Structure 1
Amino acid sequence: MLALQLSKRLSRSLSSSSTTTITFHRTLTTLTQSSSHSLSYLLSSVNHYITGTGNVDACPWSTIQSRGVKVTAIHLKPGNVIQRKGKIYEVVDARHKQQGRGGAMMQVELRNIDGGNKESLRFGTEDAVEKVFVEEKYFTCLYVEHGTAYLMDPEKFEQLEVPTELFGEAAAYLKEEMKVTLQLYDERPLSGSIPKHVTCTIKETPPHVKGLSATPRYKKALLDNNVTILVPPFLEVGEEIVVNTIDNSYMRRAN
């Protein structure tokens, strides 16, 4: 009875999105084999999703739902994981391009997860692409040594070693006790991210000279992680500042 009720609610509420409806119904066969208690819990979750009091990620079966979801190529972005011709790829770069009268297209650079090989492909903006589920987990950075970041799972207290290149240019900001995020596919790390704002110390910078008629708006400063950024002229060596790790820009003095 609950399974039938669940099916009717899904059909009514998701009829405006054919892709999502198909995905929900593919999971229904599995769900109908669950116990009455499990179906009650699932029905409650769907109610939250349908009424807007929850989101799809909160559903207990969001993992099943997210695997094999069809999206249009125009929605691809770096970090996404897709399946193509039986192989799994990570999207390294995705650019929207206009080809004059030829219409718009997506230039996408992919990295094969198993072999690591990269390839560049073109998709029409409305081409269907199969996007697969990627899990995000939080870790604590213990230390960084010789191009390797040593992380700790705060829940299982298990140590994980990953190459710093997973974090891209932001790897320069990795430091002890920093909370980081890993994107995983089948428990394999694909990429990593760090907090958007990080506190750093100015290691080297020209001294501030008062009284000059033409004071520069910014000056170069070498931080304690050997990253050089532009800072206001009044800042001195030894001061702690907050840096935007996305574009290496000065935000403010640290509290």
Structure 2
Amino acid sequence: MQAIRRRVFKSLFAASSSCSSYSLGAFRTLHIASQHSAGTPDRLFPLRFLITPWSAVQNRGAKVLGTDVRPGNVVQRKDRIYQVLKAQHTQHGRGGATIQVELRDVDSGNKITERFRTDEAIERVFVEEKSFTFLYTEGHSVMLMEPKTFEQIEVDKDLFGKAAAYLTDDMKVSLQFYDGKPMSASVPSRVTCTVAEAQDPMKGITATPQYKKVLLDNGLTVLVPAFIRSGDQIVINTIEDTYITRAKE
């Protein structure tokens, strides 16, 4: 039985090497089947290693459409690796939509601008993602701490982009690494912010939803329903900088 598992393992790994991506479901299925047959999880280390997201597939490409390209993604173009800095979608009347992206060469640091069709297949490179705790910001540097080892790491504030405004004490953030280098950073997709300034609700509001701009305690401005007042805590979508709901007291 052990010999059979070895042969299956080798064939699966060879298959993953010959294609751009491989379904992790197959590895999970093999892992479960092997557990039933072997009965000793410790003997299945290679299989348990494979089912972790960044083991067999790290640095292997996966085709994604242009519409799915986002800032912070790492893509491969003409045998070079780039990080997506900006992405702007444009609709050309009756013609097809395109996405203009600003890319930074991982090796040289040079920036280029390219335009993709939204239906064009782009080679996306998987990166390793790790969780950290935000400590403080000093100038253009952000200090983070690995929660298990308490090891501190200093990264450039630009890795967070506009999301750096949401950083608060002890916030859980994520760093994306490629080839051991931090490529981008992200905050939770939903955070609670306090409204610093807001106009009082206007009288005579109709049934049609009314919105107004408010200033948050982090300096950002967002649109919120008319009933929101100064001092209210609201939940914000940090990806789109949009109001979700009023926070529960």
Q: What letter corresponds to residue 58 of structure 1 in structure 2?
A: T
- 1:134 matched to which residue of 2? 127
Distance 1:247 1:151 in 2: 24
AA of the residue aligned to 1:118: K
Which residue of 209, 226, 251 maps to 2:219? 226
Q: Structure 1: which 5+ residue stretches go unaligned?
A: 23-36, 47-55
**What is the Cα-based RMSD across aligned positions, in Å?**
4.3
Match of 2:44 among 34, 37, 41: 41
Query: 1:143 aligns to what?
Result: 136
User: Could you tell me how far apart the structure 2 residues matched to 1:105 and 1:246 are?
Assistant: 21
Which of 109, 113, 117 pairs up with 2:110?
117
Q: 1: CA distance between counterparts of 2:232 and 2:57?
A: 49
Identity value in percent? 44
In structure 2, the partner of 1:251 is 244
Code of the residue aligned with 1:176 in structure 2: it is D
1:207 Cα deviation after fit: 1.3
How far apart are 1:219 and its partner, in Å? 1.2
> Mind listing any 5+ residue stretches in structure 2 that lack a counterpart?
23-39
Aligned pairs for 1:16-165 within 5 A: 19=19, 40-42=43-45, 45=48, 57-58=51-52, 62-67=54-59, 69-72=60-63, 74=65, 77-78=69-70, 79-82=72-75, 87-92=80-85, 109-121=102-114, 129=123, 132-165=125-158
SS in 2 for 1:155: coil
List per-residue Cα deviations over 1:60-83 (Å, max 9, x = no partner). xx524433x344464773334345
Q: Secondary structure at the match of 1:199?
A: strand
Asked whether the 8 Å contact 1:202–1:239 carries over to 2, the reply is yes
How far apart are residue 121 of structure 1 and its match? 5.0
1:6 equivalent in structure 2: 6
1:184 aligns with 2:187: no
Specify whether residues 19 and 140 from structure 1 end up closer, same or farther in structure 2 by C-alpha distance, changes over 3 A only.
same
1:187-214 CA distances to partner (integer Å, 9 max, x unpaired)?
311001111111111111111244x365
1:228 Cα shift? 0.7
CA distance in 1, matches of 2:99, 2:199: 45
Q: Distance in 2 between matches of 1:21 and 1:92?
A: 24
- State the alpha-carbon separation in 1 of the partners of residues 227 and 98 from structure 2: 47
Please give the secondary structure, in 2, of the residue aligned with 1:63.
Answer: coil
Change in CA separation of 1:14 and 1:98 when aligned onto 2, cut-off 3 Å = farther
Q: CA deviation at 1:162?
A: 1.4
Distance 1:188 1:18, change over 3 A: closer
TM-score by length of 2: 0.70
